[in-house]
Amino acid sequence: MDKNMPILIVDDYKTMLRIIRNLLKQLGFDNVDEAMDGSSALQLLRGKSYGLIISDWNMEPMTGLQLLKEVRADAKLKQIPFVMVTAESKTENVVAAKEAGVTNYIVKPFNAETLKSKLQAVFGAF
């Protein structure tokens, strides 16, 4: 796994973006871009090659699930691993995300260890 690969984090709360960025930094990832919503995330994704997307579920106007569906429907983006972050662990949400092609799922609150284990599940050891 390349620690220099670009990672895109998407969340409509600046605090959450900062937390995820700091956790990634603790794990050795510094090449991190941020988007505050799904549409700006898509613009970034179409302009640059990313190795991972970490997105919040609850965002307006485009939810993380809608962003995931857009990414999976785009031939150039569909292979990018997509990790969904949510405060809710409702079964129907997990099922919906899995059906839409989510790579992995993190329930808030989480720490660097949780993030590391989810990323290891996606990429293997690092």
Give tens-digit pLDDT for 2-55: 899 999 999 999 999 999 999 999 999 999 999 999 999 999 999 999 999 999
| pTM (2 d.p.) | 0.95
Residues 126 and 1: beta-carbon distance below 8 Å: yes
Sign of CA dihedral 32, 38, 40, 43: positive
Structure tokens belonging to residue 71: 């990414």
Residues 8 and 52: beta-carbon distance below 8 Å: yes
**7-123 under CATH 3.40.50.300, yes or no:** no
Nearest to 11 by CA among 93, 121, 108: 108
Q: Which residues pair with 62 in a beta bridge?
A: none
Give tens-digit pLDDT for 65-80: 999 999 999 999 999 9
How many CA atoms lie within 13 Å of 55's alpha carbon, on the beta-carbon side? 31
